[in-house]
Amino acid sequence: MRHATAFLALILGVATSGCSGAFPVRLSAAERSRLSEAPVIHSVHYQPIRRLRVVTLGGAVEMWEGMTGTSPWIGIEDPVASVEAGFLAGLQREMKLTRIERFDRPLPSDHVPAVAVDPEVLRRVFHDGLVLDFESTAWRLAFVSRNFLNSAKTTYGLDFVVRARLIRLPDGVVLWEEYCARTSEEAHRPLGEIMADGAAHLRARRDEIAASCAEELLGLFLGRTARSGWSGRAEPVAR
């Protein structure tokens, strides 16, 4: 239950009820089977979150730092482009789709957790057909276990959320929408270890998260897994 709470907190952020883009949409088997008939499937990611925000206190302090832009930060951007690349490679491998065109530049995004970019933005760029889009909505290094006697032993971990959709542009219908969330509790260690050797651990963890999110989203897209309403995890679908 703790994992589900952390997952929902990350994907929803501080959004209020009534916001769009907050819940998964499963791709129907019929729509999945029609993908091979599509003349082209566009793919695009939005601009990554450029800086990794460091959350040292949480709560009201974190909210204040976020609003005022005074949070400490590290100059490492989120891996949304790598998630897109890994997902597309898997899609081509699994479904033998050859008519996927990846857009040559990222589109702008406000990275709002519960409000996805309006499909009209995509229609203005691609005009027609189907489009996959990938958008990061959380990217931070958050404290997990505080040591008040020795701050060097306080541990931190990465929070990352990426949202992916398949949209039919003529009518703006979202055929599929899912999320991958990695929480700071999954792999946390002291900040000194994280930043040692040019932040080698941080960069390795970033790559690991990108690969695992690409695979998780692929499983959800292909219907091999489904999001559990209880745990928030992608669970195997019974055949």
pLDDT in tens, 106-150: 999 999 988 899 999 999 999 999 999 999 999 999 888 876 666
Mean pLDDT of 75-90: 97
- Is 2-11+29-236 in CATH node 3.30.160.150? yes
For 109, the token pair is: 């995004």
With a CB cutoff of 8 Å and minimum separation 6, the contacts of 195 are 74, 202
DSSP type of residue 13: T
Instruction: Enter the pTM of the model.
Output: 0.87
Of residues 221, 215, 209, 226, the one with CA closest to residue 80? 209
The domain locations on the chain are: 2-11+29-236
pLDDT tens digits, 19-74: 345 579 999 999 999 999 999 999 999 999 999 998 876 555 555 556 656 568 89
